[in-house]
Amino acid sequence: MAHHKSAKRQWRRSLRRNEINKRNKSTLRSQIKQLRSAIENKDSESAQKLLPLTFSTIDRSIKKGTIHANTGQRYKSRLSRQVEMIGSSTSK
């Protein structure tokens, strides 16, 4: 346990940030899960609708420092590629 006043403050701050990050990550994971289930069900229409919402959630998580920028870009790249693949397979 911290003994200095500033260390105690930092510890309290880290607990608050931990809760905020946990909440943001949970929201992000839920949104990605929704999109992935639409992709899995080959539901092109709902996947196209969910993609911008998911990108927005990823961007917000990056901005708030919950996830690293490159991680967010990787998620976006992979998800958009998967949505494109189901879109092209249903139109053929």
Sequence ranges of the domains in the chain: 55-92
Question: Coil, strand or helix: which one is 39?
Answer: helix
Report whether pLDDT(64) > 80. yes
Burial of 72 (0-12, 13-18, 19+ CB in 10 A): buried
pLDDT at 88: 80
Per-residue DSSP letter, 42: T
Report, in angstroms and rounded to the nearest whole number, the Rg of the chain calculated over CA atoms.
18
* Size of the chain, expressed as the number of residues it contains: 92
Band (87; pLDDT cuts 50, 70, 90): confident
pLDDT digits (tens, 9 = 90+) for 30-40: 999 999 999 99
Residue type (1 letter), 39: I
Report the predicted TM-score, pTM, of the whole model to 2 decimal places.
0.84
